[in-house]
Amino acid sequence: MESRPDAVAMLRRWEDAGGVWRVLGEERDTITIGLYRCDDGEEADRFVAADDPQLEHFLAGRTSSQDPPASSRTPAADTDRPQVRTRDRDEQGRARQARPRDQLGRPLPYGSVGVEPVAEEPLPPLMTISYAHELLTEGRPFSAHEVYEARWKAGPASEGELWQGLAQLCVGITHAERGNRVGALRLIGRARRRLESYQATGGPVYGLDLSHLIEWIRSTEREPNDGSWLTGQPL
Q: What is the CATH number of the domain that holds 143?
A: 1.10.3450
Same domain, 138 and 215: yes
Question: Do the domain assignments include residue 58?
Answer: yes
Query: How many C-beta neighbours within 10 Å does residue 95 have?
Result: 19
Question: Do the domain assignments include residue 113?
Answer: no
| Spatial distance between the Cα atoms of 227 and 75, rounded to a whole number of angstroms | 39
Question: Do the domain assignments include residue 230?
Answer: no
What pLDDT is attached to residue 41? Answer: 60
| Spatial distance between the Cα atoms of 26 and 47, rounded to a whole number of angstroms | 12
Across 67-76, 208-217, 219-228, least confident range? 67-76
| CB-based contact 216:234 (threshold 8 Å) | yes
Across 5-19, 35-49, 89-103, 215-229, least confident range? 89-103
| pLDDT confidence bin for 28, thresholds 50/70/90 | low
What pLDDT is attached to residue 199? Answer: 97
Same domain, 129 and 217: yes
pLDDT digits (tens, 9 = 90+) for 154-193: 999 999 999 999 999 999 999 999 888 888 998 899 999 9
What pLDDT is attached to residue 149? Answer: 92
Domain end residue (candidates: 51, 73, 95): 73
What pLDDT is attached to residue 35? Answer: 86
What pLDDT is attached to residue 77? Answer: 40
Same domain, 68 and 146: no
Question: Do the domain assignments include residue 92?
Answer: no
pLDDT, greater one: 38 or 66: 66
**Closest alpha carbon to 5 in 34, 42, 35, 30:** 30
Question: Do the domain assignments include residue 94?
Answer: no
| pLDDT confidence bin for 5, thresholds 50/70/90 | low
Question: Do the domain assignments include residue 115?
Answer: no
| Spatial distance between the Cα atoms of 206 and 88, rounded to a whole number of angstroms | 36
Question: Do the domain assignments include residue 112?
Answer: no
Task: Identify the domain containing residue 166 by its residue range.
Answer: 125-222
How many domains does the structure of the chain reveal? 2
Question: Do the domain assignments include residue 55?
Answer: yes
